[in-house]
Chains A and B, each alone.
Chain A
Amino acid sequence: MRPAMEATGLGVRYRRTWVLRDCSLSVPAGRVAALVGPNGAGKTTLMHAAVGLLKPALGSVRVAGEVAFVAQDKPLYESFTVAQMLAFGRRMNTRWDAAVAADRLAGLGIALERKVSGLSGGQRAQVAVTLALASRPDLLVLDEPLANLDPLARHDVMRSIMAEVAGRELTVLLSSHVVSDLEETCDWLVVLNGGRLQVSGDIEELLDGHLVLTGPDGVPAAGTRVVSASRTGRQVSMLVRGAPPLDPRWRARRPGLEELVMGYLRSPESAVLPHLAGVDA
């Protein structure tokens, strides 16, 4: 299947520091991909490169079809009314769906004659997402869509995005540094750490391919590759790849998404990346 977004050997530099290097990944069409990583990992940079807001120093990013982007601070024109923001979207896009926009805002109870400057944080986010969705993109890129929102608004925004994904062929790439926000909604995971790509793959496959082992410190766990380990007293808890070890002193279980992400972020040298078709190492 054709990827909705594909980055090849991507490198981005601000002055003399590389904020993103040697980043090759692809997100298959129809997925909801979570882009996670600590602050400063390069998430925003990757997204800006994908939507054309910056030109990479090395490599390239390709997006199949139209892309819509909602930046982190949900920029809207303060002096516009909501209706004028929609008019802006209609005139700036070729595939504008006025009905989608009107229905969504009506459903959310956001009146069209309201001024943007008078909207709450959650409403602003909803208007920004509505603009992005009404332009009928093939790829929707959302940079921290849930930041600065209260729990109820987080839930509403996430649910309304998922409703759109279910309705049609749409790929979503959204970033967050709170993994628990993404657990229920995303089916693809991309982990960035310190400007490098650590994880890229289907979430179910990743969770199936990893184990959390707990047991006494110093016992070898044959047949597994250790991603990271944390010790508490004499006990050790490890995130590993591979089949469970036969030694009965180990207890093995399937990791949660947050455990998987944390395991990789703790050891930046570990990586699990699929072989990319068409990308020569």
Chain B
Amino acid sequence: MIWVTWRQHRPQIFVTAAFLALLGALLLGSAVEASWYVSAHARPGCPEPALSCGDLAAALARRYDAVYSVFGWMPLVAPALIGAFWGAPLLGREYERGTHRLAWTQAVPVWRWLAVKLSVLGGAVVAGGLLLSLMVSLWRPVFRSGGDSTFGNIGVFNMVGVEPAAWWLYAFALGTAAGALFRRTLPAMALVVIGVTVTMFTLFRLSDHYAEPARVELSGTVVLDDRDARLVRAAWVEPSGREIAEPPDSGCARRVDVGQSGKNAEAWQACLFGKGYRYAVYYQPPSRFWRFQWTEAGILALASAALGGLAVRRTLRRPG
């Protein structure tokens, strides 16, 4: 049965492995080149968040962005591809070609056929996702030691930790279930692409509620001193301590800025702070990285189990 799984899904396994190998080579090459550059150009003490290291930081950022632009689309596209090419054909293609009547009339019972295929392919998908996460996690610190933005940037967040594995597994389960429902590969592929996209934006919106946001009251500035935090919302706080959305008649003049200048807005904010107003920011601190990782992975794993169960139930109820 494992041989059968391997033989039937060889193309997907090869292509995914080749893709990961290619990406690994790219990341390795980029990391090696960057560390050579650092050792050749860095002054003592750099890289550090010190001002004198600015040139080096800029050069590293250029290199980072160049590579990131190559695989920055992966958090969305990779799960969609996994779902479309690993999940959708698993049942969809069997039904489409009529081979389910061959596969499910052998001595191996249908439930075992399903169990082996789902666990072997699901396991491979999870392994692939973890490998991607590992490679990205090893590559990033070469460029961004210290200031880590794995939490604030949702794209990066979805490429590290357990996120890729959870997303890939979810897309695989979604594709499998869609194949069982439609009994066709192409509509199942389309549903995967739509489903993964919708899920990603839904979870992005939902993620604010994974934990009660932290609150901090700022005075003198409206910018949180943690670029890696996820902002949830913000509000002005009256000198009395009451929180309001907009200070109504504070006596500060508010004029519209022209172009990219923020001069008028800054003047208005400075005036408000001068009158004793404070700025309350609700945010998710980056220290909650793993909490968010596991929450999202848990949601996706549960959804995967539900979709897998749906596919199994559907298949066992009417195998023909």
Contact = CB atoms under 8 A, between A and B. Distances in A.
Do A and B pair up? The answer is yes
Interface of A: 48, 51-55, 66-69, 71, 73, 75-78, 80, 84, 87-89, 91-95, 128, 131, 135
B105 A54 contact: no
B82 to A, nearest CB: 20
B320 A53 contact: yes
Interface of B: 1, 3-4, 7-8, 97-108, 317-320
Majority secondary structure of chain A interface residues (helix, strand, loop or mixed) = loop
A51 to B, nearest CB: 5
Contacts of A52: 104-105, 319
| Residue among B98, B317, B318, B320 facing the most chain A CB atoms (10 A cut-off) | B320
| 10 nearest A-B pairs in the assembled complex, by CB-CB distance | A53-B320, A92-B106, A71-B101, A69-B105, A75-B98, A54-B320, A93-B107, A75-B99, A75-B102, A48-B320
Contacts of B98: 71, 73, 75
Contacts of A77: 8, 99, 102
Contacts of A53: 101, 104-105, 319-320
Contacts of B101: 48, 53, 69, 71, 75
A84 B10 CA distance: 13
A48 B103 CA distance: 13
B312 to A, nearest CB: 15
Given A75-B98, A80-B7, A92 B320 contact: no
A124 B273 CA distance: 83
Given A52-B319, A55-B317, A78-B97, A67 B105 contact: yes
A51 B100 CA distance: 13
Contacts of B103: 92
28 contacts: A48-B320, A52-B105, A53-B101, A53-B104, A53-B105, A54-B319, A66-B107, A67-B105, A69-B101, A71-B105, A73-B98, A75-B98, A75-B99, A75-B102, A76-B102, A77-B8, A77-B102, A80-B7, A87-B3, A88-B4, A89-B106, A92-B1, A92-B106, A92-B108, A94-B107, A95-B107, A131-B102, A135-B106
A80 B3 CA distance: 13
B208 to A, nearest CB: 45
Contacts of A69: 101, 105
Nearest to B3: A91
Contacts of A54: 318-320
A87 B98 CA distance: 19
